[in-house]
Amino acid sequence: MTNFYSTPVRLTASALIHTGKGVLMSMLIGTDGVNDPVVAIHDAVDGDTATNEILPSNTYDASALGINGVVLKFAKKYTTGLYVKLANMGSGAVVIDYRTQGTLHPKNFK
């Protein structure tokens, strides 16, 4: 079976990036070296009702990362949607990589 990656999504503000099932694969945080970004990822379609965190809110130290960025790799299932909450980004950005239900084996969603 072939797995296809989504097109990575680059965000500078909170946003819904996918509706439906999928698997969150990785996150790349590029900071501006000054502001400490706060990132949380939810299994939700709306920022106001985003309570099911699949990646808990965390503050990343922009000055301690050396290259002013961090890559996190994981495999977290979501069923409703993928909503990314961002705060204190300054001129930094977050890149999110995910796979949608159609590219995954159905047994992953029993």
63 assigned to some structural domain: yes
> CA-CA distance, 90 to 25, in Å (whole number)?
25
Q: Does residue 97 sit in helix, strand or coil?
A: strand
Strand partners, 97: 26
Tell me the pLDDT tens digit for each residue of 30-86.
Answer: 777 788 888 888 999 987 777 788 888 888 887 765 445 566 777 888 888 889 999
The amino acid present at 76, given as its one-letter code, is K
26 assigned to some structural domain: yes
How many domains does one find in the chain?
Answer: 1
95 assigned to some structural domain: yes
Instruction: Name, of 10-14, 72-76, 94-98, the range with top average pLDDT.
Output: 10-14
pTM: 0.76
Task: Count CB atoms within 10 A of the CB of residue 76.
Answer: 15
Reported as a pLDDT band with limits 50, 70 and 90, residue 2 is very low
61 assigned to some structural domain: yes
Q: Domain limits at 76?
A: 12-104
CATH number for position 91? 2.60.120
75 assigned to some structural domain: yes
**Contact between 35 and 92 (Cβ < 8 Å):** yes
5 assigned to some structural domain: no
C-alpha Rg value of the chain to the nearest Å: 14
- Tell me what pLDDT residue 16 has: 93
19 assigned to some structural domain: yes
